[in-house]
Amino acid sequence: MQQSEEGLTDTRYSQQGVQWVVRTARNEAGLSKQVSTHTLRHTFATHLLEDGLDIISIKDLLGHESIQTTMVYLHVAQSGRKKPFSPLDTLYA
């Protein structure tokens, strides 16, 4: 690994090489929808959030400097969540 301004950088795989692998896997799977490395990163973060990992930990995993960048995943993850309710609302149901 090499040292960069941001920290350690893994140079075993080039950006183009990783993109090629993702594109090839998509084609071999017969998917018509576009899939990119960003799609995989976004999906990974969204699933972590939906599984209950806190947003600060996800921010750190993704290497975001600002929590605002990570907050985008909150909007996506909450789209399928149920509206909060009081247990008293269902007491006599």
Euclidean distance between CA atoms 91 and 85, whole angstroms: 11
34-89 pLDDT, tens per residue? Answer: 888 888 888 888 888 888 888 899 999 999 999 998 888 777 666 555 666 677 77
Give me the phi and psi of 30, to 5 degrees please. Answer: 75, 25
Euclidean distance between CA atoms 22 and 5, whole angstroms: 27
User: How many CB atoms neighbour CB 51 within 10 A?
Assistant: 8
Instruction: Kindly give, in sequence order, each residue whose CB lies less than 8 Å from that of residue 59, ignoring residues fewer than 6 positions away.
Output: 67, 69, 70
Please give the full DSSP string across 16-28, using - where no structure is assigned. Answer: HHHHHHHHHHHHH
Question: How confident is the model at residue 71, as a pLDDT?
Answer: 87
